[in-house]
């Protein structure tokens, strides 16, 4: 490294000096958790904004900043006062903006890619031992779908893509394709590189460790071919790479011509947390952080014996009380304020702890619903989340102004257009008022209606529009009522999507409210991956392989409770990544979120092994370990 400095301003100075339009220099910032990477990024841009933005704008150019999440995008945009000279976007939107005008090139790429994929699948079919086993049938289905897609390609006039959506329409590209096509165009179309560099002479990537490998490679290639024309700046922490599609060897083999500033201060965590994360990290590389904060903070490992049945809710509640005593911080016990952040590996673990499983689990089991369910954009969710919930809250708070605003915005009864068309607007207003009263009456006497009851009421009064996803169910609910005592209706056809909704709609509205809090980041729960980049005063990390059910991560292996598998040993011998490496990085990310105190809760049936392993590794002292 050319520089290792404890003075952040020197590092920031070096980064800023790279953003020189006459003499651009690329850089890779080496920095661990809580070292202020995002702050350095924004500071450099702000300084650039002050000194050089006029020239950039005059030349019709922009600075491109690629971030990992939409939330990070919004944060950076707002800190740069929404200056249009900064093009801040996620990698998927950035990629799509680059390629979307080139319909014919996309078509050719897709055609050749589909042909390759079909040829590979046909080859596998040819070598299959049986034509009746599951893999054969699955491959046959894939060949059929890919062939169909290949056939319709010529008829597509314009490809579509939504970086935040499921992209299931016939003319849409999926997320993986957009990244691959962009990387391929940048690598193999010299004109594309020239256009990009002309438009964005400075390209900065935050969270570069998790940015799609193919694209990072393409950007490296572009920089190598035009060294005097572009600044490529990478911010990130290789130890925080938690997705499998990031570039594994990022940080190694950085060209000599690049600047390599390093930040070694951790501004977020107290001293004890920093010694812990330094120890965890020492299993992967030799980066050591120094604390900025004076306080020691508190860390405890609770090892929970799962050889006998355990009530996890009770155990975890007890742990928060113990932490409150140990830290003398009563907020550890304050459930209502969500003052403790509880991190689980999987969403379903958060759902069961947060009490919204009945709504979440059935819908999350439908693959194409996953993204929409997590960002709240799933068709059907917004009726309850954006219309019914705020309306009920407004009524409960006696805020009639908010009630009428929501009605004006969403209700087809009272919407401006409806009133214009109607000659009897007074009548319509009365109808709307009655609809609100009828809906709100479901909550009278502290009742907690089911989503089904709410849907039925919405259907009957027409207070809000019902999306296509819920309409068949609403129809059926109403039908059931009409059929009581009448003739048996025909058995409905099984449709897994409708069945998932039917199950979810049986939950109580209060469960749905908890789900909304979860996806709005207002609940006490988060996932190990989802809290990337965030920080919280009190953090409880739940390690529970059995409940997580996955195979990508294994805390039991990381903590020495389970021996590495032959595959792990093989990978290790071949210098490849193992599930222990992946889990170590995830554990580093979760522990490094704590600003004050940290409780780690390890569920295991090998408690003695876990204790002796963590003592041997020097992660915890004996008096920091509590067996339950
Ligand atoms: N130079 C500084 N002086 C004081 N506080 C700082 C400084 N730099 C960063 N911080 C604070 O430290 C905390 C961590 O900063 P930030 O989130 O930017 O770090 P990061 O490197 O992006 O972290 P991570 O990679 O772990 O998500 C924030 O509260 C930030 O305000």
Q: Which residues 6+ apart lie within 8 Å of 414 measured at CB?
A: 407, 408, 428, 429, 432
Does any ligand 1 atom lie closer than 6 A to the CB of residue 277? Answer: no
Does any ligand 1 atom lie closer than 6 A to the CB of residue 380? Answer: no
594 and 478 assigned to the same domain = no
For residue 591, what pLDDT band results from cuts at 50, 70 and 90? very high
Residue 514 domain-assigned (yes or no): no
Total structural domains within the chain: 4
Question: Where residue 299 sits, what CATH number does that domain have?
Answer: 3.40.50
- What percent helix, strand, coil does the chain show, rounded to 5? 55, 10, 35
pLDDT of residue 2: 40
Residue 5 has pLDDT above 50, yes or no: no
pLDDT of residue 415: 64
Residue 230 domain-assigned (yes or no): yes
Residue 479 domain-assigned (yes or no): yes
83 and 222 assigned to the same domain = yes
pLDDT of residue 52: 85
394 and 498 assigned to the same domain = yes
Question: Where residue 50 sits, what CATH number does that domain have?
Answer: 3.40.50.300
User: Can you tell me the mean pLDDT for 329-348?
Assistant: 84
Last residue of a domain, one of 263, 285, 305: 263
pLDDT of residue 559: 87
pLDDT of residue 538: 94
Give the integer Cα–Cα distance in Å for 165 and 179.
15
User: Can you tell me the mean pLDDT for 302-318?
Assistant: 89
- Rounded mean pLDDT of the chain? 86
What whole-number percentage of the chain has pLDDT above 70? Answer: 91
pLDDT of residue 6: 45
Residue 9 has pLDDT above 80, yes or no: no
Does any ligand 1 atom lie closer than 6 A to the CB of residue 99? Answer: no
109 and 257 assigned to the same domain = no
Residue 520 domain-assigned (yes or no): no
Beta-sheet pairing, 536-543 with 340-344: parallel
Last residue of a domain, one of 451, 475, 508: 508
422 and 498 assigned to the same domain = yes
Residue 480 domain-assigned (yes or no): yes
Adjacent-strand bridge partners of 342: 525, 540
pLDDT of residue 299: 96
456 and 552 assigned to the same domain = no
318 and 373 assigned to the same domain = no
Interface ipTM > 0.95: yes
pLDDT digits (tens, 9 = 90+) for 255-297: 889 999 989 999 999 999 999 999 999 988 888 999 999 999 9
pLDDT of residue 3: 42
In terms of residue numbers, what domain contains 117?
Answer: 103-159
User: Cα dihedral angle (18, 19, 24, 29), rounded to 10 degrees?
Assistant: 40
Residue nearest to atom 23 of ligand 1 (CA): 34
Last residue of a domain, one of 263, 298, 318: 263
Give the integer Cα–Cα distance in Å for 324 and 151.
64
78 and 204 assigned to the same domain = yes
293 and 250 assigned to the same domain = no
Residue 93 domain-assigned (yes or no): yes
User: Can you tell me the mean pLDDT for 332-339?
Assistant: 79
CA 568 to centroid of ligand 1, rounded, Å: 35
Residue 1 has pLDDT above 50, yes or no: no
Residue nearest to atom 25 of ligand 1 (CA): 33
Give the integer Cα–Cα distance in Å for 181 and 151.
20
204 and 139 assigned to the same domain = no
45 and 194 assigned to the same domain = yes
CA 291 to centroid of ligand 1, rounded, Å: 12
Adjacent-strand bridge partners of 599: 300, 540
Residue 325 domain-assigned (yes or no): yes
Residue 69 domain-assigned (yes or no): yes
User: Can you tell me the mean pLDDT for 315-323?
Assistant: 93
Give the integer Cα–Cα distance in Å for 73 and 66.
8
150 and 247 assigned to the same domain = no
Does any ligand 1 atom lie closer than 6 A to the CB of residue 411? Answer: no
């Amino acid at each position: 490294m050319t520089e290792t400095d404890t003075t952040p301003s020197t590092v920031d100075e070096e980064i800023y000096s790279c953003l020189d339009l006459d003499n651009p220099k690329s850089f890779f910032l080496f920095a661990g958790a809580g070292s202020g990477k995002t702050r350095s990024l924004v500071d450099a841009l702000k300084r650039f904004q002050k000194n050089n933005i006029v020239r950039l704008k005059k030349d019709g150019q922009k600075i491109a900043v690629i971030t990992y999440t939409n939330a990070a995008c919004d944060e950076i945009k707002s800190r740069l006062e929404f200056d249009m000279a900064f093009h801040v976007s996620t990698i998927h939107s950035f990629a799509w903006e680059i390629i979307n005008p080139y319909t014919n090139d996309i078509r050719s790429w897709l055609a050749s890619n589909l042909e390759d994929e079909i040829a590979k699948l046909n080859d596998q079919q040819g070598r299959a031992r049986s034509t009746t086993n599951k893999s054969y049938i699955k491959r046959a289905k894939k060949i059929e779908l890919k062939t169909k897609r290949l056939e319709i390609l010529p008829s597509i006039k314009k490809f579509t893509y939504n970086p935040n959506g499921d992209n299931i329409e016939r003319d849409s590209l999926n997320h993986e394709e957009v990244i691959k096509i962009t990387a391929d165009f940048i690598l193999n179309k010299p004109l594309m590189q020239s256009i990009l560099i002309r438009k964005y002479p400075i390209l900065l990537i935050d969270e570069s460790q998790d940015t799609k490998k193919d694209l990072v490679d393409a950007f490296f290639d572009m920089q190598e071919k035009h060294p005097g024309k572009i600044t490529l700046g990478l911010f990130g922490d290789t130890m925080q790479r938690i997705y499998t599609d990031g570039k594994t060897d990022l940080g190694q083999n950085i060209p000599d011509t690049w600047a390599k500033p390093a930040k070694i201060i951790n501004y977020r965590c107290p001293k004890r947390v920093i010694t812990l994360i330094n120890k965890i990290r020492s299993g992967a590389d030799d980066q050591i952080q120094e604390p900025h904060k004076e306080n020691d903070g508190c860390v405890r490992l609770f090892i929970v014996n799962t050889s006998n049945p355990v009530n996890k809710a009770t155990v975890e509640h007890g742990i928060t009380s113990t932490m409150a005593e140990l830290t003398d911080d009563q907020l550890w016990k304050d459930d209502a304020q969500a003052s403790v952040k509880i991190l689980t590996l999987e969403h379903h673990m958060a759902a069961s702890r947060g009490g919204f499983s009945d709504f979440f689990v059935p819908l999350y089991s439908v693959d194409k619903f996953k993204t929409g369910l997590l960002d709240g954009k799933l068709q059907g969710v917004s009726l309850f989340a954006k219309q019914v919930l705020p309306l009920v809250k407004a009524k409960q708070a006696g805020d009639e102004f908010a009630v009428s605003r929501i009605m004006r915005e969403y209700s087809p009864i009272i919407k401006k257009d409806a009133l214009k068309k109607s000659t009897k607007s007074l009548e319509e207003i009365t109808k709307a008022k009655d609809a609100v009263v009828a809906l709100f009456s479901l909550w009278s006497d502290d009742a907690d209606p089911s989503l089904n009851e709410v849907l039925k009421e919405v259907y009957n009064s027409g207070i809000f529009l019902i999306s296509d996803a819920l309409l068949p169910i609403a129809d059926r609910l109403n039908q059931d009522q009409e059929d009581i005592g009448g003739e048996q209706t025909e058995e409905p056809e099984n449709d897994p999507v409708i069945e998932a909704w039917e199950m979810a709609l049986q939950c109580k509205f209060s469960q749905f409210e908890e789900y909304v809090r979860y996806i709005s980041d207002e609940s006490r729960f988060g996932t190990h991956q989802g809290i990337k980049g965030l920080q919280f005063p009190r953090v409880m990390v739940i390690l529970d392989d059995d409940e997580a059910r996955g195979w990508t991560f294994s805390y039991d292996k990381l903590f020495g409770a389970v021996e590495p598998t032959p595959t792990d040993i093989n990978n290790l011998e071949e210098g490849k990544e193992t599930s222990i490496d992946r889990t170590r990085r995830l554990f580093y990310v979760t522990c490094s979120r704590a600003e004050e105190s940290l409780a780690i809760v390890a569920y295991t049936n090998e408690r003695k092994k876990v204790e002796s392993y963590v003592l041997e590794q020097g992660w915890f002292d004996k008096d920091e370990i509590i067996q339950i």
